[in-house]
Copies of this chain bind each other. A is one copy, B any other.
Amino acid sequence: MSLGDPLGIAGVGLIGGSIALRARAEGVRVIGYDREAIPAGIVDATCASMELLARESATLVVALPLDATLDAIDALRRGDDRNLALVLDVASVKEPVVRRAAGWARFAATHPIAGAERGGAAQARADLFAGRAWAYVPGANDEAVVEFIRFMGATPVAVDARAHDEALALTSHLPQVVVAALGALLDERQARPDLAGPGLASTLRLAGSSWALWETILRANAGVLSGSLRDLAERLSAAARDLEEGELSHIPSYFEGANRAYEHFVRERST
C-alpha cells in the first residue's frame, strides 16, 4: 500500500480490529491505541496515547464511536503531525464529522457498511469488509481513500455527507430502532422461544446491538430518522385496522413492496 507504513488505528474494537487484521494479513505494520486492553494478535504494537499514535503513523484510522470521533478530530487537528499523510474516520453518521473536520486537508470521512450485532475486538475478522460497500465523502484525498478502501477488500461508494446520512437512516438506523422496539415487545410479552424459528432469529439479529454505541448515532441523525419512524408507525396502525375490519387494503401492498426490497437488499446481496 502506498499509504505508507505503519498504519495507526485509534480505537481497536470490531471495526478498528478488523482493519488491523486485514492490513497485517496484507503485510502492513499496524500500531494501535485503545483505552482498553487490546487482545493479542490484532496489532503489531500499541501506543500509550492517541498523540503518540498520530506521531508514529503514516495513515491514521479513527475507529471510535461518533462522539469520541468528533473529540479525536479536534485533538488530532491541534497536533497536526507532519508525518501523518491521511486521517480517516469510520463513524456511522457523516454530517457532524464533516462539519467538525471542515477545512482540515488531510482528513477524509468514510463509513464501512459492515459490522456485527456484537462489537469488540474479540469479534474482529480480516474479512469483515470483503465485498462490502465502504462509503466516503469526496474531498482532497480521494485517490488515497479509494486505495485504502480497496486495500480493505471493500467497494468504495462516493457520497456526500447529507445523502449518506439520509440513505443510512433508511438502510440502517430505522431498521435498528424497529428491531429494538420489536425485540422489547417480545421480551415484555414473554414471547415463547420454544415456539420461535429461524425466521425470527434472522429478524432479531440487530436486537443484540449495544445502546452505548447507538445513542450518539441516533441523536446525530434524529431529524431524518424520526420522520421514517412516524411513517412506519402509521403503516403498522393501518395494518392493525385492516385486520380489525377484515378489509385488507394495506397489508397486501406491503408484501408487494417488501418482495421488491427483498430482491435488492437480500437476494442480490447473497450472490
Contacts and interface: CB of A to CB of B under 8 A. Distances in A.
A65 to B, nearest CB: 15
A68 interface: no
A258 to B, nearest CB: 3
A86 interface: no
Nearest to A269: B201
Interface residues of A, number: 97
A156 to B, nearest CB: 11
B236 A219 contact: no
A197 interface: yes
Contacts of A135: 195
Given A202-B206, A256-B184, A261-B207, A115 B197 contact: yes
Nearest to A267: B208
Given A177-B239, A199-B117, A219-B246, A207 B258 contact: yes
Contact of A226 (B133, B170, B240, B269): B240
A47 interface: no
B266 A185 contact: no
B132 A251 contact: no
Contacts of A164: 195
B235 A184 contact: yes
A129 to B, nearest CB: 10
A171 B200 contact: yes
Which 5 pairs from chain A and chain B are nearest by CB? Answer: A183-B258, A184-B257, A183-B261, A211-B255, A207-B258
24 contacts: A117-B199, A133-B195, A167-B191, A168-B195, A170-B191, A170-B192, A171-B195, A172-B196, A172-B200, A175-B203, A177-B236, A179-B258, A182-B232, A183-B259, A184-B258, A185-B232, A187-B264, A193-B265, A196-B269, A204-B262, A207-B262, A208-B267, A226-B240, A230-B240
Interface of A: 113-115, 117, 132-133, 135, 157, 159, 164, 167-168, 170-172, 174-189, 191-211, 214-215, 218-219, 222-223, 225-237, 239-241, 243-244, 246, 248, 251-262, 264-270
